[in-house]
Chain A
Amino acid sequence: MLHIINKSPYDRPALDSALNTGEGAILLIEDGVYAAAKGGAAEAKIKAAQGKFKVYALQADLEARGLADRVTDGVTAVDYGGFVDLVAEYKTNQSWL
């Protein structure tokens, strides 16, 4: 399953909820991209998840927040077209609102 996270990990438990499901892919969008900031408190959580989850972040939202050049290692930036490809690739998706 593709888990779509649009809220900051410092605001809502959406990322934790997704990680608790066990496996799949995580796509961070909107304020969700704060989880991908290198050196942030959520970095350890993202790194620990990478064994079970592929982690992606939306490039436009990283850029809007000044995070494009400091993304945690192993997180793949995608554009909106990449977002579409991920939704197509995974049979199911869940927006953790």
Chain B
Amino acid sequence: MKFAILVNEGPYTHQASDTAYQFTKAVLAKGHEVFRVFFYHDGVNNATRLTTPPQDDRNIVNRWSKLAEEHNLDMVVCVAAAQRRGIVDEGEMKRNGKDATNLAPGFRISGLGQLIEAGIQADRLVVFGD
């Protein structure tokens, strides 16, 4: 079965990003396909590679990046939500005249159409948020 996952909450906020991660891992462990993980609203903050949590804490961003690398996940960050919150890739840096990028490996910035497509293409869409 094809699953799509929507993450609406940032890391280290309540628990939604953690639950979404554990759920995504379990989907893959069950042999299902993850069509896409879409990060929206404060969820885009899961995609900054500049976080430095204490060493004895989980690294939520790196954890997502690693999972994407291991399973070739499509992790999409909403462009409008990202612009508001300063999540920047090469293209956005140039377009908006910024002096840096911070998008973590495994993520890509795109539009809300990617969420709609995921809703259409996947058999199930599960929402994690606050």
Which A positions have Cβ atoms within 8 angstroms of B?
4, 6, 29-31, 60-61, 79-81, 83-85, 87-88, 93, 95, 97
Contact = CB atoms under 8 A, between A and B. Distances in A.
B24 to A, nearest CB: 9
Interface string B84-115: 00000000000000000000000000000000
Nearest to A82: B26
B26 A81 contact: yes
A88 to B, nearest CB: 5
B124 interface: yes
What secondary structure prevails in chain A residues at the interface with B? helix
What secondary structure prevails in chain B residues at the interface with A? mixed
Contacts, number: 49
A4 B126 contact: yes
A84 B32 contact: yes
Given A4-B126, A93-B126, A97-B129, A88 B23 contact: no
Interface stretch (B8-16, B45-53, B74-82): B8-16
B23 A95 contact: no
Q: Considering residues A80, A83, A93, A97, which has the most beta carbons from chain B within 10 angstroms of its beta carbon?
A: A80
A87 B23 CA distance: 10
Given A30-B16, A93-B124, A95-B129, A83 B23 contact: yes
Contacts of B15: 6, 30-31, 61
B25 interface: yes
A4 B8 CA distance: 15
Nearest to A29: B19
B2 to A, nearest CB: 11
30 contacts: A4-B127, A6-B15, A6-B128, A30-B15, A30-B16, A30-B19, A60-B22, A61-B15, A79-B26, A80-B22, A80-B25, A80-B26, A81-B29, A83-B26, A84-B3, A84-B26, A84-B27, A84-B30, A87-B3, A88-B1, A88-B32, A88-B123, A88-B124, A93-B124, A95-B126, A95-B127, A95-B128, A95-B129, A97-B8, A97-B130
